Amino acid sequence: QVQLVESGGGLVQAGGSLRLSCAASGRTRNNYAMGWFRQAPGKEREFVAAISWSGATIYYVDSVKGRFTISRDNAKNTVFLQMNSLKPDDTAVYYCAAGLLAVKLRGHEVDSWGQGTQVTVSS
């Protein structure tokens, strides 16, 4: 079982930036994909971004394209989500996820979840 621990959430004004990190530990399989989801109050959990093991394959939900950037450091078993030009609609609990392939994460086929970190964007 893979343990995922997120950090970097917080309160920011609209137009600001935050960088989320997620460290993986435990029985990390080789070549796993990682990604980010978010869930706002009263809404379903939404896919945000995913990255393959090599970093060659990346997916984003349309609403964050051009504003968010996902990256990873395999030497540190860590994935990052750089969030720029934040909007109040980005307010949610952000969850880190790990799975077999980036395309499967995009389809919500997740093997492991983190505990979530709150991101609040004020207007």
What's the pLDDT score for residue 46? Answer: 98
* CB of 78 closer than 8 Å to CB of 62: no
Nearest CA-CA partner of 117 in 2, 3, 4, 6 = 6
Instruction: Check residue 27 and give its pLDDT.
Output: 73
Does position 28 have pLDDT exceeding 70, yes or no? no
49 confidence band (pLDDT: 50, 70, 90): very high
Find out whether 49 and 64 touch, Cβ atoms under 8 Å: yes
